[in-house]
Amino acid sequence: MNQWSEYLAQMNRYLQQQDERIKALEERVRTIEKDRKTANQTTIEKIEYNFDQLKIERLDGSLHIGISPEDLSKVEDMSLGQQSALSPYPISQSPSQSPYSEVDSFLSNEAPSLIEQEMRTQKKPNDPQFIQTIIEDIRKQLPTRIAHYERLAKEKGMSETELYHYVTEQVKGEIRDSLQAFFNQEQQKGEKEQ
């Protein structure tokens, strides 16, 4: 009888070990499944447009800010008052009630001097017609770019005042960066041709 109780005790220990091992494996499987579920979830919190990807092939034509090469085939007349096919967002109420007036003022008053400064840096002749062409190309894109940043600001839950400042600063920064990238590329192209 002593043999049977020893055998039963041994079997009991073995079953307990197996039970603990099964529980550990089940916990490991749960952890792996949980990690796998979180790894498969893709979360995109914010998309920023990088202007270092801006590529200008020729000096003539239009300077499109904030448009990818794929979108260039869809470009329509983006003058104020018309909804662009590129912009699924409504254009702000009226120009005087939106960041448009401040950005337009920036284009009229500050952008020409920025362009002239870049032209002087690259020892290019001052060409008022060229400067005006660049400014008009950018001005045509303002409604679309403003609508884009207004949408982002609204998604972030900004107040009207915060929205106004955010949108104007983003668009002005985009214009500065685009102009600088354009002239840097022109300078590099000129150096290659020499």
Amino acid identity at 103: V
Angle of helix 128-155 versus helix 160-193 axis, rounded to 10? 140
Global pTM reads 0.49
- pLDDT the model gives residue 88: 35
- Hey, which of 16-20, 55-59, 81-85, 100-104 has the most confident mean pLDDT? 16-20
CA dist list (Å): 17 to 12, 22, 26:
9, 9, 14
- pLDDT the model gives residue 38: 75
| pLDDT at 178 > cutoff 80 | yes
| pLDDT at 92 > cutoff 50 | no
Of the ranges 5-14, 64-73, 74-83, 133-142, which one carries the lowest mean pLDDT score?
A: 74-83
- pLDDT the model gives residue 85: 39
Mean pLDDT of the chain: 76
What mean pLDDT is predicted for residues 128-150?
88
